[in-house]
Amino acid sequence: MNIRKYIDLRLIGIIGSCLLIVSQFSAWYSGLTLINIYLITTSVAIEDSFLYLFPLISGSICFIGTFLVLYKLEYKLNSVIINFIGLGFFLIFIFEIVPKDFPYIVSAEIGFYFAIIGAFLILLGIINVLKLNNNLEEGS
């Protein structure tokens, strides 16, 4: 069974980007979404509060990067660069915020898992885009 006949594998990056964006609005720890945590930390004037928006920002950047390769296959190098920039923002978030909230990882909720799966799918989408042949027709 050839899965490529039924599904365009370039859509993996779009699905990963959407999961990363949805994770922003899903519960992460103790029933709070990242938007709620951002609003709480902003009201207390914590300097790292903007970091809670990074999954939304990186998901949006990766969505644009993946859409480029769907629009025109010749933009695949630009798409990969944009996706790596988006994943870089997400890695900053993971390495900066998650160690602070490490005791709460045991009780992580669906938003955390959406973000991890989304980042993994974006990475798989990048690998798939790099494997694409330039001789493919743009319609396929």
User: How high is the pLDDT of residue 102?
Assistant: 66
Question: Rounded to the nearest 5 degrees, what angle is found at the Cα of 126, between the Cα atoms of 122 and 129?
Answer: 130
Taking only the tens place, the pLDDT of each residue in 27-65 is: 887 788 888 888 888 777 677 777 888 888 898 999 998
pLDDT under 50 in the chain at which residues?
A: 137-140
pTM: 0.81
Task: State the Cα–Cα distance between residues 54 and 30, nearest whole angstrom.
Answer: 19
Which class for 102: exposed (0-12), middle (13-18), buried (19 or more C-beta within 10 A)?
exposed
